[in-house]
Amino acid sequence: MPLYAFRCPEGTEFDRTYPMSEVPASVDCPACGATARRRMSAPRLSVAGSAAYRLIDSTTATAHEPQVVTSLPGAGPRGGAGARVTRNPLHQKLPRP
C-alpha cells in the first residue's frame, strides 16, 4: 500500500499508509491536532516489493479480504484423520455446513 506524506500548519510532517482509493486529502495531526494536508511526493516504489511491505500488505489484506474457507479443516478426500465423530445428541441440532 502506498505511503502518503502529510504536513500540518505547525510544520509537523508525518507519513500514513492508505489504500489508493481511500486516501484522504487531510487528516488530523498526531502532534497538535490541527488539520494536516496531504503533500505531493514521489511514490516510494523502491520499497513496494520488499519483505516488510509484503508483510504489511498481507496483514492489511486479512482485515479487508479475509480468505474464504471452502472445506472443513482436516477433512481430506477420505474423510480422514480430521473427521471427528461426536456421540452427543445435542450436537445433531447444530447447523451443518
Footprint of Zn ion on 26-45 (CB under 5 A): 29, 31-32
Q: For Zn ion, which is the closer residue by CB, 17 or 35? A: 35
Cβ burial of 38 (10 Å; 0-12, 13-18, 19+) is: middle
- Alpha helix (H) ranges present in the chain? 51-64
- Minimal distance, residue 69 CB to Zn ion, in Å: 44
Name the DSSP letter for residue 1.
-
- The residue from 12, 14, 18, 53 that contacts Zn ion (CB under 5 A) is 12
- What is the contact surface with Zn ion in residues (CB under 5 A)? 8, 10, 12, 29, 31-32
